[in-house]
Structure 1
Amino acid sequence: MEWVYLIIAGFCEVIWAYYLDASYGFSKLVPSIMAIIFIGISFFILEKAMKKLGVGVAYAAFTGLGTAGTAIMGMIFLGESVSFLKIVALIILLTGILGLKLSEGTDKT
């Protein structure tokens, strides 16, 4: 269940990044409020995942999912540039997150 929390928290991070961009430096009220709400939601859900996964794995996966999701959102919906190097970097990032997922539970501490 903790990985479901992480995915939801990462998705919320993508949403707050979108609204943060749309707020134009917190000068637009509705996008600013939405960004703050989704920041709170994402960290609340992240905290739930940290109870079982620990801060290292949870935060690394959270930021990685948020980074990848935000980059993909920017390329698909916001007209940001797409390049071969960006795609390779995203694949490497997501592979690292998958590696964290697969390694979870193998530590014997």
Structure 2
Amino acid sequence: MAWLVLVVSGVLETVWATALNASKGFSKLPATVLFLVSLTLSMGGLAYAMRSIPIGTGYAVWVGIGAIGTAAYGMFALGDPVTVGRITCLVLIVAGVVGLKILH
């Protein structure tokens, strides 16, 4: 159960990061509210998961999921550049997250 909560919390990290961008410095109320709610749920889920997952593994997986999701959202929805180098780096992050899960 902790791993499922951790993955959902990582996805919520992507939500709060993109909502933070959309809030335009907290000047857009709906995006600001989405940021605050998703941030709270993401952190709460991370805290719950870390009851049974070691901190180094849990935090790295959480950040990795959030980083991959946010980068992918930026590339596919916001027009961020899609380059071989960026994709390679994201694949390496995925490999690290999978490796941490396997070695847990």
**TM-score where L is the length of structure 1:** 0.92
- Aligned equivalents of 1:98 and 1:62: distance in 2? 12
1:11-90 → structure 2 map (5 Å cutoff): 11-90=11-90
The list of structure 1 runs, each at least 4 consecutive aligned residues, that deviate by more than 3 angstroms after superposition, is none
Q: For this pair of structures, how many residues does the alignment match? A: 104
Please state how far the C-alpha of 1:5 moved relative to its aligned partner.
Answer: 1.0
Please state how far the C-alpha of 1:60 moved relative to its aligned partner.
Answer: 0.8
- Aligned equivalents of 1:43 and 1:54: distance in 2? 16
Deviation string for 1:39-59 (max 9, x for gaps)?
000001111110110211101
Higher-Rg member (1/2)? 1
Identity %: 37
Deviation string for 1:18-69 (max 9, x for gaps)?
1100000111111111101100000011111101102111011101110011
- Aligned equivalents of 1:76 and 1:10: distance in 2? 19
- State the AA in 1 paired with 2:27: S
- State the AA in 2 paired with 1:35: F
- State the AA in 2 paired with 1:84: V
Please state how far the C-alpha of 1:83 moved relative to its aligned partner.
Answer: 0.2
Which sections of structure 1, spanning at least 5 residues, go unmatched?
Answer: 105-109
Report the RMSD for the aligned CA atoms in angstroms.
0.7
- State the AA in 2 paired with 1:93: I
Please state how far the C-alpha of 1:77 moved relative to its aligned partner.
Answer: 1.1
- State the AA in 2 paired with 1:101: K
